[in-house]
Chain A
Amino acid sequence: MTPTRTTVQKWFLRMQYELSLELVSGGEGLDRKLSSSQVTRPGLALAGYFRHFDSERIQVLGQQETSYLDDLSPAHRERVFRELLSYPIPCLVVTKSLAISPELLAESQRTRTPVFSTRMATASFIARAILFLEEEFGPSEVIHANLVELYGLGVLIRGKSGIGKSECTLELLKRGHRFVADDSVIVKHVTGHRVIGTAAHPLKHYMEVRGVGIIDVVSLFGVTAVQAYKRVGMVATLETWDEKRAYVRTGLEQEEYELLGETLPHATIPVHPGRSPAVVLEVATMDLLARRMGHFAAREFNDALIKQMQSSTQPTGYEFGDWDDQYEL
């Protein structure tokens, strides 16, 4: 479910601060659709050439465009804006706090085309505006899973209905970790190989617990127990314990899971009476953090084991002398 359209208003509200945007005119047109992730400087169009004009893009007027327009007569300017704004452009932005001509203001009011001003320089403005648009139109999906933050890492918990994702999440909450989403998670791919997750449900931080009903996580666990958005750092799948399945026994290799085109570390957590998936999940997360710091327990163990097997003297594990010193009560 990837969004293909947004509105100028949404873009404005989201980027107003970052882009230092001020609405100058044409506010009635804020509901205009934005469907392109590109931004354009209408150079040739201002000179009267409209073939292949990208009318679905946000139009930007910078130093050069403003200077060209200043050199025209008011009548000529009026003709230029009349033609430019006859197209259904989403909006127009004037950068560097440059003066906006009265002809543009008049035409924008007549056609209800939003015109913004920013003090940003043109190139910087274009780069940042496109960044937001590409993220807005980037791939996203709603998946049936929980998202919890453990030790700063976002863990997506998957598994069949009824396997105990919610109970596992509750235990993690009791252990001090943070709740992001239960049951339906929107995951979105953003720049920098990141996948961000948030609750799909507009009514955030509610959970359904079989046997209890719907609970409000903030009321029960507190404001520090929830997080609105979290980058997904690991995927865990809860599975019913299967005798015949070859579970990860060494950790010499890392399981992987592909989400929206990104490869993430994966752990399969077996669910079985008497085994706590929450603890295993915690440890899987801790181990991943250790790996990120360069500690690969399985590899270190194996290297030491091989070294020990190769050495001529085979120690038993402790010598009697050491034992006395360390364990004497």
Chain B
Amino acid sequence: MTQTVERTVDVRNSRGLHLHVASLLANAANQFESDVFFVKDGLRVNGKSVMSLTLLAATVGTSLLMVVEGTDAERAASALEALFASRFGVE
């Protein structure tokens, strides 16, 4: 049963969503079957792709809208939200 879940997440890492952090996020998003998107200022990118995430140029303090669509949307959204909150285990 496909659900759509939307959450607001904040970038807490001092260097923002740079390559390493983007790859951690993309790898995490890929664990789930659902489609994951991040929206910033009207730009909507694919959360499962490292290059797409770097397009956001999300610096520290940026708020992003996370949209998850699929059968495991709830689980995926919670897991990714927790990842942002934990600063991805980095600085």
Report which A residues bind B (CB closer than 8 A).
1, 142, 144, 161-162, 182-184, 200-201, 203, 206-208, 214
Contacts and interface: CB of A to CB of B under 8 A. Distances in A.
Contact of A142 (B44, B48, B49): B44
A179 to B, nearest CB: 13
A184 B45 contact: yes
B interface, how many residues as a size bin?
Answer: 10 to 19
Contacts of A201: 51, 54-55
B30 A161 contact: yes
26 contacts: A1-B43, A142-B43, A142-B45, A144-B46, A161-B30, A161-B35, A161-B48, A161-B49, A162-B30, A183-B46, A183-B49, A183-B51, A183-B52, A184-B45, A184-B46, A184-B51, A184-B52, A184-B55, A201-B51, A201-B54, A201-B55, A206-B51, A208-B51, A214-B19, A214-B50, A214-B51
Interface of B: 19, 30, 35, 42-46, 48-52, 54-55
A207 B43 CA distance: 20
B38 to A, nearest CB: 12
A201 B55 CA distance: 6
Given A144-B49, A161-B35, 5 more contacts: A144-B45, A182-B51, A183-B52, A184-B51, A206-B51
Contacts of B55: 142, 184, 200-201
Nearest to A144: B46
A208 B51 CA distance: 7
Nearest to B19: A214
A272 B26 CA distance: 24
Nearest to A181: B51
Contacts of A203: 54
Given A161-B30, A184-B55, A214-B19, A1 B49 contact: no
Nearest to A207: B51
